[in-house]
């Protein structure tokens, strides 16, 4: 018995000794200094996009041309975790050299900690470089004080519906051609799917658990009643109890009751709705954004190994549910910024220029994570898509994106959270006016 105690004691003492040893900084590769040849710089880069999968292409392309600037890429398991890691590190003065921020309150809060881009760009690209980007994209990376604090990488838009053409052909549904234009046509298509498949195929899969998706749908719908009104509401200039939003709420309820699958408010868009419904061939349609048209079908991409690997997937614009025809809502999906505290701003700028303006922009555009915002970039990977339907979808998408109007996402996450919760409550039959009042209450408390 005592021998066992003896063992435990020594284990304890050894552990404590080791703890104090480790507590000395620098041991076990602590500290931030990187070894390596003189003149070699290491930059840390924390983005969500490029993803790990993208980085397999983007990373080597960078290193090939810039052997002296190594990029240490790292991301996190989810957007929420990423935001946590980034915020705590930035507040503690240990942020990365390069980081991703997003349009709206996120960029605004970080703007004072980010390096103004314009002086660097003016010096290296010459005056007037902004004209090389879509003008909305430059507006998106500009803080309220007028400083440009990041550069845009791509544009994404909502709301689109992917449909599994092969599956629909199999069960003999033809209603996807021409694509449904309004709610009634969409409902008819859904009913046809249910009837012809004897209920074995779910017509539409929609991930309604996360606030971002339902609120994006809400914005897309509200713009069909009164273009742009919702942006005034989020700035506090229009009440959330406005009739436009009451009407939009009614549409949301109708969509969840009659179009989307049962229980959609409890299912994540990613990965559950995508994998368990659309990729597993249980659902014929999947409501998503432009980022999901194209790139995911590339070899080595998401489709590989799933039940729909060989299927032809088409896309159409989410049908009209308001009084006016729908237009896609859009925004800069991803951007890259330089930390003001970075010790290697010159090298960091070199990377930003490469990724958004130079060769890297072409490499990134070919991954089809959204569409380019830098002018004169041609996507050359289209022919790698497996089916003609998918190639056609991308070709169809590009001009449709030109008709986009209005921001895809609300700029204030506090309002997004509140509106998302209220939409879900309305879906379950709560009073629309009461729910909108709650949104107003949160909106009133939001700092702008």
Partner 1 sequence: MTKAKKISLKKLEPYLYILPAMIVSGLFLYYSIGFVIYISFHDWDGLSFNMPFVGLENYKYLFTDFRMYKALFNNLLYMFFVVGSQVVLGLFIAVLLKAKLVGHTLFKSLFFFPTILAPILIGGVFNIMMDPNMGAINRFLKYVGLGSFAIPWLADPRYALMSIILVSIFNWMGFAMVLYIAGLLAIPDDIYEAAKIDGSGFWNTLFKITIPMVRGTTATMIVIGIVGSLKVFDIVVILTNGGPGYSTEVMSTYLFKRFFNDFNGGLASATGVLILVLALVMSIIQLKIYEKSKLTM
Partner 2 sequence: MLFRIRFHPKILIQAILILFALVWLFPLVAAVSQSLKIQGLKNYWDVLNYPKINLLRVIFNSFVIAIVTSAAVGLLVSLASFSFSKMKFKGKSVLYYMLLACLSIPPAAIMTPMFILVKKFGLMNSLSAVILPVIALQAPFMLLILKNYFDTIPSALIEAARIDGCSSLRVFYSIVLPLAVPALVTIMMLTFINAWNEYLIPLLFIKSTSNYPVTLAATYFTGGGGIHQTPKMLAQQYAALIMMTIPSIIIYIFSQKYLQAGLTAGALKS
Binding site for partner 1 (CB under 8 A): 77, 80, 83-84, 87, 90-91, 105, 109-110, 112-113, 202, 209-211, 261-268, 272, 276-277, 282, 413-414, 416-418, 420-422, 424-425, 427-428, 430, 438, 441-442, 445-447
Please select the residue that binds partner 2; options are 5, 146, 375, 447, rule is CB under 8 A: 5
Q: Which is nearer to partner 1, 203 or 372 (CB)?
A: 203
Per-residue contact flags (x/-) with partner 2 for residues 302 to 321, judged by CB under 8 A: x-xxx---------------
Structure tokens at 45: 């880069």
For tokens 């760009």, the residue is 121
The verdict on 52 binding partner 2 (CB under 8 A) reads yes
Compute φ and ψ for 189, nearest 5 degrees.
-60, -45
**Residue 248: which of 221, 214, 271 has the closest Cα?**
221
Residues 330 and 156: their CA atoms lie apart, in Å, by 6
The verdict on 243 binding partner 2 (CB under 8 A) reads no
Residue 172, H or E segment: none
Residues 413 and 399: their CA atoms lie apart, in Å, by 30
Q: Which residues on adjacent β-strands are paired with residue 42?
A: 70
Structure tokens at 226: 């009164």
**Taking the CA of residue 38 as centre, how many other CA atoms within 13 Å lie in the half-sphere pointing to its CB?**
0
Q: Which is nearer to partner 1, 20 or 28 (CB)?
A: 20
Q: Which is nearer to partner 1, 167 or 368 (CB)?
A: 167
**Least distance to partner 1 from the beta carbon of 130, Å?**
27
Pair 215, 420: CB distance under 8 Å: yes
**Least distance to partner 1 from the beta carbon of 45, Å?**
20
Residue 215, phi-psi category: left (phi > 0), alpha (psi -120 to 50), beta (remainder): alpha
Per-residue contact flags (x/-) with partner 2 for residues 13 to 32, judged by CB under 8 A: xxxx-xx--xxxxxxxxxxx
Q: Which option in partner 2, partner 1, none does residue 417 bind, with CB closer than 5 to 8 A by kind?
A: partner 1
| Contact window for partner 2 (CB under 8 A) among 44-52, 103-111, 219-227, 435-443 | 44-52
**Least distance to partner 2 from the beta carbon of 1, Å?**
6
**Least distance to partner 1 from the beta carbon of 233, Å?**
17
Pair 385, 297: CB distance under 8 Å: yes
**Least distance to partner 2 from the beta carbon of 441, Å?**
24
**Residue 367: which of 293, 295, 292 has the closest Cα?**
295
Using DSSP's 3-state secondary structure scheme, residue 162 falls into strand
CA 359 to chain centre: 23
Residues 152 and 389: their CA atoms lie apart, in Å, by 29
The verdict on 127 binding partner 2 (CB under 8 A) reads no
| Contact window for partner 2 (CB under 8 A) among 75-83, 355-363, 397-405, 440-448 | 75-83
Q: Which residues on adjacent β-strands are paired with residue 44?
A: 72
Structure tokens at 281: 């061939």
**Least distance to partner 1 from the beta carbon of 266, Å?**
2
The verdict on 270 binding partner 2 (CB under 8 A) reads yes
Give the residues lining the site for partner 2 (CB under 8 A).
1-2, 4-5, 8-9, 11-16, 18-19, 22-32, 44, 47-55, 72, 74-79, 81-82, 84-85, 88-89, 91-94, 270-271, 275, 279, 291, 296, 301-302, 304-306, 369
């Amino acid at each position: 018995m005592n021998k066992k105690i003896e063992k435990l004691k020594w284990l304890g003492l050894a552990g404590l000794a080791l703890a104090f040893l480790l507590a000395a900084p620098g041991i076990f590769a602590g500290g931030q200094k990187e070894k390596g040849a003189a003149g070699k710089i290491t930059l840390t880069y924390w983005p969500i996009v490029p993803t790990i999968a993208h980085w397999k292409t983007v990373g080597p392309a960078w290193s090939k041309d810039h052997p002296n600037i190594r990029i240490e890429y790292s991301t996190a398991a989810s957007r929420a975790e990423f935001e946590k890691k980034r915020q705590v590190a930035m507040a503690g003065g240990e942020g990365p050299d390069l980081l991703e921020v997003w349009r709206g309150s996120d960029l605004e809060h970080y703007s004072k900690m980010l390096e103004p881009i314009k002086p660097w760009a003016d010096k290296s690209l010459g005056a007037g470089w902004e004209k090389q980007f879509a003008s909305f994209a430059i507006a998106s990376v500009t803080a309220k004080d007028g400083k440009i604090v990041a550069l845009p990488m791509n544009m994404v838009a909502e709301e689109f519906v992917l449909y599994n053409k092969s599956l629909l052909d199999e069960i003999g549904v033809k209603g996807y051609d021409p694509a449904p234009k309004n709610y009634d046509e969409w409902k008819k298509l859904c009913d046809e799917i249910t009837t012809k498949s004897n209920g074995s195929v779910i017509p539409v899969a929609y991930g309604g658990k996360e606030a971002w998706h339902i609120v994006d749908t809400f914005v897309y719908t509200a713009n069909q009643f009164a273009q742009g009104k919702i942006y005034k509401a989020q700035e506090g200039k229009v009440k959330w109890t406005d009739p436009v939003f009451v009407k939009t709420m009614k549409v949301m309820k109708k969509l969840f009751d009659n179009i989307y699958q049962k229980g959609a408010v409890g299912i994540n868009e990613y990965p559950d709705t995508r994998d368990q419904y659309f990729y597993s061939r249980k659902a014929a349609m999947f409501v998503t954004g432009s980022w999901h048209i194209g790139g995911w079908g590339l070899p080595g991409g998401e489709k590989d190994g799933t039940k729909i690997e060989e299927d032809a997937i088409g896309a159409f614009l989410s049908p009209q549910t308001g009084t006016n025809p729908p237009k896609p809502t859009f925004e800069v999906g991803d951007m890259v910024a330089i930390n003001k505290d970075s010790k290697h701003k010159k090298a960091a700028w070199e990377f930003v220029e490469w990724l958004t303006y130079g060769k890297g922009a072409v490499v990134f555009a070919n991954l089809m994570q959204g569409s380019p915002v830098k002018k004169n970039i041609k996507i050359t990977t289209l022919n790698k898509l497996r089916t003609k339907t998918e190639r056609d979808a991308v070709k169809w998408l590009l001009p449709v994106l030109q008709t986009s109007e209005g921001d895809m996402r609300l700029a204030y996450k506090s309002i997004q959270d509140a509106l998302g919760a209220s939409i879900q409550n309305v879906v379950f039959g709560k009073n629309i006016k009461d729910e909108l009042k709650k949104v107003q209450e949160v909106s009133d408390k939001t700092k702008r």
